[in-house]
């Protein structure tokens, strides 16, 4: 009995999920050595990429995390002195999350560590394979974001 096209596609998705799970676990183990986690690193990186401050909703959108997850992580980062919350001058109902000096120092060190982890994780691939992988992942990400946007639009129109 042969594998149908649908089964091949399912196998591809399952392979991708399994690879992501393994990559995530690898990152957890590596980042744990430096007292951080993939989501903690992702949130700090998002804020840094945006100039050192963001509103929590933008952080959630950038990292694809639920508001509750972002709030919990921001509480932890604030307790550790890596960020502070400030009133948003443009919207009194909102706050800005701002990276502290300690936060800048911390993320600067962790970015170097992340680059080393990245190097080790991808060392099995040639430059050409890395370019191909990057291109495929970008295309896949763009497609999925389009699908998410469609689903959100459908949910919004059903709710009306």
99 and 109 share one domain:
yes
Confidence of residue 32 (pLDDT cuts 50, 70, 90): very high
Query: Rounded mean pLDDT of the chain?
Result: 91
pLDDT(66) > 60: yes
Mean pLDDT, rounded, for 90-109: 92
Is residue 5 in a domain? no
Total count of domains within the chain? 2
35 and 107 share one domain:
yes
Is residue 69 in a domain? yes
pLDDT in tens, 103-138: 999 999 999 999 999 999 999 999 999 999 999 999
CA 1 to chain centre: 40
CB 102 within 8 A of CB 82: yes
> Phi, psi at residue 147, to the nearest 5°?
-65, -40
Q: Where are the beta strands (DSSP E) in the chain?
A: 53-54, 83-88, 91-99
130 and 117 share one domain:
no
Domain that holds residue 52: 20-124
> Phi, psi at residue 54, to the nearest 5°?
-155, 160
Dihedral-angle region of residue 81 (phi above 0 means left; psi in -120 to 50 means alpha; beta otherwise): left
98 and 114 share one domain:
yes
Is residue 36 in a domain? yes
Q: From residue 48, give the alpha-carbon distance in Å to each of 75, 83, 88, 103, 146.
A: 17, 11, 18, 9, 26
CB 54 within 8 A of CB 70: no
119 and 134 share one domain:
no
78 and 145 share one domain:
no
85 and 132 share one domain:
no
Q: In sequence order, what are the beta bridge partners of 9?
A: none
132 and 72 share one domain:
no
30 and 51 share one domain:
yes
135 and 117 share one domain:
no
119 and 130 share one domain:
no
pLDDT(1) > 70: no
């Amino acid at each position: 009995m042969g594998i149908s096209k649908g089964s091949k596609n399912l196998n591809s998705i399952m392979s991708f999920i399994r690879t992501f799970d393994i990559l995530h676990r690898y990152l957890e183990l590596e980042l744990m050595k430096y007292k951080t986690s993939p989501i903690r690193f992702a949130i700090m990186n998002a804020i840094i990429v945006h100039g050192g401050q963001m509103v929590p909703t933008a952080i959630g959108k950038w990292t694809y995390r639920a508001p509750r997850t972002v709030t919990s992580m921001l509480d932890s980062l604030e307790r550790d002195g890596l960020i502070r919350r400030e009133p948003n001058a443009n919207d009194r109902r909102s706050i800005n999350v701002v990276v502290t000096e300690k936060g800048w120092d911390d993320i600067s060190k962790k970015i170097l560590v992340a680059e080393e982890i990245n190097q080790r994780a991808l060392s099995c691939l040639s430059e050409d394979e890395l370019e191909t992988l990057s291109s495929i992942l970008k295309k896949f990400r763009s497609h999925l974001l389009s699908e998410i946007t469609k689903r959100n639009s459908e949910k919004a129109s059903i709710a009306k």
